[in-house]
Structure 1
Amino acid sequence: MEIVTHLRSLPSPKTLIIDSALSRYSARSSSSLSSYSSSSSCSSSEIAPPDDSLGSEILSKMKDPRISEQESALISLRRATRESSDRRISLCTPTLLAALRPLLGSRYKMIQNNAVAALVNLSLEPRNKVPVMRSGAVPALVEVLRCGHDEARDNAAGAIFSLSLEDDNKAAIGVLGAVPPLLHLFARPSEGARARRDSGMAIYHLCTLGTNTKRVAKGARAVVGVAKEGGELGMVAMMVVCRLAGCAEGRAALMDADAVSAIVELLRKSSSAEEEYCVGALYGMSKGGLRFLGMARAAAAAEVVASVAEKESAGEAVREMARRTVMVIRGEMEDGSDSVEFDSGVSWRKRLNEFISSDSDGVNNSF
């Protein structure tokens, strides 16, 4: 059984945020490796230059009613698209995508596993993301997330993560119902770390669109639960929490989920990287009016956040957000509105968006 690599992209704050423990996440945007088992075998030496005959052969076998021929075609497609950018481009045709789409829902494990993995590989190429989306594959991927075979479900999360990096895809992915199964997968401790991480990252990127943020807000309690787990998944959850804290619906949902006390508790024992996101989340929620004030004071948040404001290692933007949050909690300034500005003239909403924005626009996951 061959071990293949999965390069994963995790965003980090913009340059205003300190280069702290989050550097391990930004590094992964180009080089982080995880190992996965594949049912097919392939090496880089086996990958030849693209040619029309390969696509024709794969397409012919995919349309063959015999399961053995379909499986052979999908293994060839998965192998060809794993490491060759040229192959990913040349094989991503409307005809091939149309033939691949029904195989995503196959009841045969090996067919479904290889079909979804091949689709992930095709989606890695930036120019392929919109054509894959337009092929109608997302409804099938959503169904795989809900009730697919284990490996296929993991890869479906990776495929939606990959597709969510393209701005033109975000609205359609949300409308097609991807958010609820992504939240379900992200929140289940019994699922594999890979599937949960990719689900969380897909949610994070989908939240850059306001309509999707409202959908994710319905699962705020689940996201806060993952944040409490800590570790890498907890970090991803806190990134999503920061997105939610940037809009009224998200703030209300977070407070319904008792996120204020949970985040204050995390802040008491967090690393510097987690600390930044905790402060960012509380800063966003500080625009939640009297309800936030009551919850923050009950959790003794002012003292904890004030300690961050005094840390030289915390970075200018984090200290500034911490100071403003403490002032709101102590009643030294009103929670205000979107027009409240920092000394630099930057509005609170722009500052929060800068904080949670990603430096990493790409993902390079091969299966």
Structure 2
Amino acid sequence: MILVTGGAGFIGSNFVLDWFTHSDEPVINLDTLTYAGNMENLASLRGDDRHIFVKGDIGELSLVENLLARYTPRAIINFAAESHVDRSIHGPEAFIQTNIVGTFHLLEAARAYWDGLDPGKKQAFRFLHVSTDEVYGSLTSSDPAFTETSRYQPNSPYSASKAASDHLVRAYHHTYHFPVLTTNCSNNYGPYHFPEKLIPLMIVNALAGKALPVYGDGRQIRDWLYVRDHCSAIRRVLEAGKVGETYNVGGWNEKANIDIVNTICALLDELRPRTDGKSYREQIKYVQDRPGHDRRYAIDARKLERELGWKPAETFETGIRKTVQWYLDNQAWVDHVQSGVYREWMEKNYAGRTQ
């Protein structure tokens, strides 16, 4: 049995679903169900005894301790995090509480549990911490891609909080010999992505006839990783990763934001044309950039390929087509997640951003 935290969120829910396509090993899924956690993501597992869902926060030390004592998992995979840079700019405290304090409490509970295991189970136990490439800061167009030894230079409250959690995980290994693994991934995309991030927001807004807001000049570059590829990488690191090591996970797909938006528009022009015959590109609107916007991220994932034999299965072209088609086929899911709270956030974040 494994414990997955944040398993109702975007990446976490995809991981749980992917896990059960490869294994019958049960999963305890601990999620506090904030705005981004959605049990509809896991609807296909209703009634499945392999999936044990628990609503709760990783910061609730006694809850985590009780779960570990009751279910005795062989591994913990920590997806639980506040993850949206824009939200961290408007309200950083939640990021400090979840990403730093929450990770600390989770580590404390997990370390105490691990200390009490018999030698064989203690040797086999793993704590896999899922993090981001944003902890490394920003690159220029000519800089080499981030490696596992790149200097940490976080530039937003979100990335600073994730950097702090990474440091805690590293410290628990070096101080207590706690068996940790860390992955730092590039931008994920795919099914069940909450429509506040670039790709799902563009798809949802385009279909609704709304503006497609592009920050600044749109030339910010990110490496894009299809979420199911990320899930396979995590499974591989859990299976064979070396304790104490960090593995960067990337898709080898550096793309400028505006190129992503244009690709989405072209796919929608093909798959769901506008009734007036015009291109969705006409809905693109350049808006004021967000404060401190990092210019470029790029992941060098060669260590993961060299040491563990992993590489992504999807190209960006195959992954983005699957993603657009998923949103076209799952309009009910989109409608359900766009609650009043979501609308209030969109109005707050984009209010006053002039063209």
TM range (shorter): under 0.3
Higher relative contact order (CA 8 A, sep 6+): 1
Q: When the two structures are superposed, what TM-score results if normalisation uses the length of structure 2?
A: 0.26
When normalised by structure 1's length, the TM-score is 0.25
Q: Between Structure 1 and Structure 2, whose CA radius of gyration is higher?
A: 1
Larger relative helix fraction = 1
Higher strand share: 2
